[in-house]
Amino acid sequence: MDMPIDMQHQAMGYDRTATMFSPEGTILQVEYAQKTVRLGSSSIGMVCSDGVFIIADKRVKDKLVIQKSASKVFEIDSHIIAGAAGIVSDARVLIEKAQLLAQQHRITYDSPIEPELIIKELSNVQQQFTQYGGARPFGVSLMIAGIGNKKPELYINDITGNYFSYHANAIGENDEKIREKLRESYKPELNIKKGVKLALEIFKDVQGKSFDMERFELAYIRNDEGQLHRVNETELREFVK
């Protein structure tokens, strides 16, 4: 009796290193890392008529945890924010690198860095960890949102280091279901307030009985201001009225 493909890979060692392709043309450690991302908490990013936002499910219910310490939306610079799905400690390393890049750019060129330069540099780092031995791939996918040339921009990368620009997208748990609903309902003319309301409706539909407004945090940047605004779980109800 023939062995299943997964067992063959394990027996032959194709899943033990990020530098070896399987006979099917895949890097198994990268595929495993992608599964880790899909187990992470969900985030939705959206480009709107008046700015861009990321809304994230913190997925923390423990009353002993200080909610501010469980933030899933990170500030890169005053005009750039980031969300992450997967291993948050992996994300922290990349986020800190992005923050350093943003400050170095301001000091060197006396101007804010473009969001695409941030996602490109982080994606280059992630790609290296799929090519060289001695280290595993980063188990995280990043969402970068910001204002570039006074226009809202949204980028998402993956484990392999590929990245694309989007009008709206999701990362983390149930990402494909959320994307399907975004394809059906997203419109470029939505403003931030209406976009957030749509995102919450999608989360409610996907999560069902487990949906709880207090689990979410929102960060947005308006085109005319170029400054980060945070909305915590208690203020979110008022924001979407």
**How does pLDDT run across 23-62, given as a tens digit for each residue?**
888 888 889 999 999 999 999 999 999 999 999 999 887 7
Query: Has residue 136 been placed in a domain?
Result: yes
What whole-number distance in Å separates Cα of residue 3 and Cα of residue 18?
23
Q: Binning pLDDT at 50, 70 and 90, where does residue 1 land?
A: very low
Q: What is the CATH number of the domain that holds 213?
A: 3.60.20.10
**How does pLDDT run across 11-22, given as a tens digit for each residue?**
466 677 777 888
**How does pLDDT run across 101-122, given as a tens digit for each residue?**
999 999 999 999 999 999 999 9
DSSP state of 24: T
Residue range(s) defining the domain that contains residue 175: 41-239
In the sheet where 140-148 sits, what is the strand order? 73-77, 80-86, 140-148, 151-157, 163-165
Query: Has residue 56 been placed in a domain?
Result: yes
Query: Has residue 79 been placed in a domain?
Result: yes
Query: Has residue 23 been placed in a domain?
Result: no
- pTM (2 decimals)? 0.91
What whole-number distance in Å separates Cα of residue 107 and Cα of residue 228?
20
Query: Has residue 12 been placed in a domain?
Result: no
Tell me the residue ranges of DSSP E strands in 17-67. Answer: 43-48, 51-57
Please give the tally of structural domains in the chain.
1
Query: Has residue 100 been placed in a domain?
Result: yes
pLDDT attached to residue 16: 73
Query: Has residue 17 been placed in a domain?
Result: no
Instruction: Give the chain's mean pLDDT.
Output: 91
